[in-house]
Amino acid sequence: MSRAKSPPKSAKRLVSVKLDEKSIGRSNPDVEHEREVAIYDLLEQNSFAPVSHDGGPYTLHLSISGNRLLFDIRQEDGTPVVRHFFSLSPLRRIVKDYYLICDSYYQAIRTATPDKIEALDMGRRSVHNDGSTILMERLKGKVAIDLDTARRLFTLVCVLHWKG
């Protein structure tokens, strides 16, 4: 009996993501859960390719420095590839909106009707998609990513942005 081989994974992907612990504020269990799931899902499946670089796979270190988000991209062996700094200003409102709706959603899970929970979840997903689209626009011309990768990265940007 022969086994089907799984297709080789692309080198244009992330194999490690680290968040700067100094950038992360105090968080609650819901935020920690979102962080863990986003990292796990991101590493399971992603499309990540720094523009004009023919290497990979990559590691990513995310941090906040002042009012800027830092994407420190390296090859798997630690060799630096590129560092991109982005202003957080275009993301501030959407991150704030996302956290407000997430707080409402997590509270609703404990006490609200299924209809209310579903409505909040739809709103949460919509805001999350908007934030992911903004992140993709900010990365355009610097790092090629797909929407699923952008969604997971947006979650991690929110975790970094959260100050408890």
What pLDDT, on a 0 to 100 scale, did the predictor assign at position 58? 97
What pLDDT, on a 0 to 100 scale, did the predictor assign at position 27? 64
Taking a C-beta distance cutoff of 8 angstroms, is the pair 19, 159 a contact? yes
What pLDDT, on a 0 to 100 scale, did the predictor assign at position 23? 65
What pLDDT, on a 0 to 100 scale, did the predictor assign at position 113? 94
Residue found under tokens 């992907």: 13
What pLDDT, on a 0 to 100 scale, did the predictor assign at position 32? 79
Give the residue among 73, 62, 89 at the shortest CA–CA distance from 142. 73
H-type helices in the chain, by residue range? 29-44, 89-111, 114-139, 147-161
> Distances from the Cα of 145 to the Cαs of 35, 84, 131, in angstroms?
19, 15, 14
Give the residue among 159, 160, 156 at the shortest CA–CA distance from 40. 156
Phi, psi of 140 (to 5 degrees): -55, 135
Taking a C-beta distance cutoff of 8 angstroms, is the pair 19, 160 a contact? yes
Using 70 as the pLDDT threshold, list the residues of the chain that sit under it: 1-9, 23-27, 162-164
CA 124/CA 157 separation, integer angstroms: 16
Phi, psi of 102 (to 5 degrees): -65, -45
What pLDDT, on a 0 to 100 scale, did the predictor assign at position 9? 63
List CB contacts of 31: < 8 A, sequence separation 6 or more: 159, 162
Tell me the pTM: 0.86
Give the residue among 122, 126, 147 at the shortest CA–CA distance from 137. 147
What pLDDT, on a 0 to 100 scale, did the predictor assign at position 16? 96
CA 67/CA 85 separation, integer angstroms: 10
Residue found under tokens 């990559």: 58
Give residue-wise pLDDT tens across range 138-154: 999 999 999 999 999 99
What pLDDT, on a 0 to 100 scale, did the predictor assign at position 164? 43
- A 10 A CB-CB count for 144 gives 15
Domain boundaries, the chain: 14-161
What pLDDT, on a 0 to 100 scale, did the predictor assign at position 163? 53
